[in-house]
């Protein structure tokens, strides 16, 4: 299974649309957004895809947003989000939450995905792979990541060009 990981759209639906298209071209069958969505128009770009997300520190997640998510068919996110895909235990957080540090210390997890810093990252902490795809806003370049859960291969991509970012 190939997972597309993105973060920090900050309301920019156009760059989010390009990111979703790129991730699809790269074979991602599941999309994960690590927060700071910041608009219904960004959620519209995620709707209709097999997608999960978390709220970030810039998101306004009130009752009207809950109703909106129901209308577009997206689930209200838990924070941090925990899921198992292809037998891999994954946590998704934005990175600002008070629980974030404890995720990095949780030896039951295979992966932690997060955003918040707008900086690409791929490190191992206590045997867990911690991945930040970079950001779709206020970052150079705008980046996303694709993780193949079968092979554990990770690639970062520039959204505007589709070019692989060598690391």
Domain range list for the chain = 2-165
pLDDT at 46 exceeding the cut of 90: yes
Closest CA to 83 of 32, 43, 131, 45: 32
- Rounded distance between C-alpha atoms, residue 120 and residue 18, angstroms: 18
pLDDT in tens, 114-132: 999 999 999 999 899 999 9
- Rounded distance between C-alpha atoms, residue 45 and residue 157, angstroms: 19
Closest CA to 119 of 107, 111, 131: 131
Q: What fold characterizes domain 2-165?
A: Purple Acid Phosphatase; chain A, domain 2 (3.60.21)
pLDDT in tens, 78-112: 879 999 999 999 999 999 998 999 999 999 999 99
In contact, 121 and 140? CB cutoff 8 Å: no
- Rounded distance between C-alpha atoms, residue 152 and residue 91, angstroms: 16
pLDDT at 141 exceeding the cut of 80: yes
CA angle 154, 114, 122 (to 5 degrees): 35
């Amino acid at each position: 299974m190939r997972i597309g990981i993105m973060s920090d759209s900050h309301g920019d639906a156009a760059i989010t649309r390009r990111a979703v298209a790129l991730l699809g071209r790269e074979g991602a069958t599941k999309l994960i957004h690590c927060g700071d969505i910041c608009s219904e128009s960004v959620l519209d770009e995620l709707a209709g895809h097999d997608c999960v997300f978390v709220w970030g520190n810039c998101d306004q997640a009130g009752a009207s947003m809950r109703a909106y998510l129901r209308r577009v068919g997206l689930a209200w996110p838990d924070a941090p989000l925990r899921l198992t895909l292809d037998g891999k235990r994954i946590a998704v957080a934005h990175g600002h939450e008070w629980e974030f540090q404890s995720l990095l210390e949780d030896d039951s997890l295979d992966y932690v995905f997060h955003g918040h810093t707008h900086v690409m990252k791929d490190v191992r902490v206590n045997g867990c792979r911690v991945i930040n795809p970079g950001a779709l806003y206020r970052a150079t370049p705008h980046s996303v990541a694709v993780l193949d859960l079968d092979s554990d291969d990770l690639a970062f991509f520039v959204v505007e060009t589709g070019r692989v970012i060598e690391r």
